Amino acid sequence: METKKLIVTDLDGTALQNWETLDPNTKEALIAAKEAGHIVVIATGRPARASLHFYKELGLDTPIINFNGAYIHHPEDETFEDIVAQIPTEVVLTLFDSELKDYIVNAFCEYKDHLYVLHQGDTIRDWFHIETCTSVKYGPFKETLDEHPNGFLLEAKEGYPEKVMSFLRENYGDIVTCRKWDGDNVNIIEVFKSNTNKATAIEKLAKYFNIEQKDIIAFGDGDNDIEMLKYAGVGVAMDNAIDKLKAVANTTTKSNKESGVAHYIHEYILTPKK
């Protein structure tokens, strides 16, 4: 085998064909890379409960990165010490004590697999896999939030995401970082502790596995993959990636619908160089 690589893949829009389906060609390629001696890691914004079935489907035995780096844990090794980034509850409570509460449709805080939901109702998406949560608490966060969350999602009223993000940046810019989603979810804002991203997470795992930065290959498609692709030795953007990500990537591959991760792995990792 040539130099061992740390192969890091995002899930949605990258390794997955859709919300619940791992691309079969990508699955085969990632398993082949693992069997060839490379290290395969998932890095996703999803919580553990919404990603571990893909981890198991790939037969992985490595740590997994959840919440965009706010929760790094090892499902197969109890001796691995979890790496957890948490937002002080006061940040959440202050936001909902301000006038901005009127611009928020719903909000969701998460700590590992514990979910805290502001309003019970139709705005709760399938994203949360509520049926598999360790616990779910509904109601005002000042009454329910008993852990410093790994992160939280805000669903703002249409036209107000920027105003909400400005409040967070002006008042807590040294504590949290926030970003707006795109596509059909432009009113969704995700909030994590400052300096929490997939890049800092894979940097920690590269040290854990004793892999040099130049030997990290990362795949992604979205805004939350920008830091990771910039940090990796080779950052690979999917053809369906946002333009901002393509601008910082070293290269691009085919789209997730065209098994882009598999295409790159077979052409550049598993195929011996002549």
Q: Domains, the chain, ranges and CATH?
A: 6-83+196-269 (3.40.50.1000), 89-193 (3.30.1240.10)
Span 39-57, average pLDDT: 96
Q: Where are the beta strands (DSSP E) in the chain?
A: 6-9, 16-18, 21-22, 39-42, 64-66, 71-73, 83-84, 104-111, 114-117, 135-138, 151-156, 176-180, 188-193, 216-220, 234-237, 251-252
The pTM for the full model equals 0.93
The active-site residue out of 10, 23, 221, 225 is 10
Tell me, what DSSP letter sits at residue 182?
A: -
Radius of gyration of the chain, Cα coordinates, nearest whole angstrom: 19
Span 108-117, average pLDDT: 94
Round the average pLDDT of the chain to a whole number and report it. 94
Predicted confidence at residue 2, as pLDDT, reads 73
10 classed as catalytic? yes
Name 213's Cβ contacts closer than 8 Å, sequence gap at least 6: 203, 206, 231, 232, 233
Percentage of the chain with pLDDT > 70?
97
**β-bridge partners, 14:** none
Span 36-53, average pLDDT: 96
Predicted confidence at residue 121, as pLDDT, reads 78
Residue 185 reports pLDDT greater than 90: no
124 or 245: which leads in pLDDT: 245
Predicted confidence at residue 188, as pLDDT, reads 93
| Strand 39-42 with 21-22, pairing | unpaired
Q: Under DSSP, is residue 2 helix (H, G, I), strand (E, B) or coil?
A: coil
Q: H-helix or E-strand containing 198?
A: helix 198-209
| Highest mean pLDDT pick, 35-44, 98-107, 114-123 | 35-44
Predicted confidence at residue 271, as pLDDT, reads 86
One-letter amino acid of 160: Y
Predicted confidence at residue 127, as pLDDT, reads 72
Predicted confidence at residue 123, as pLDDT, reads 63
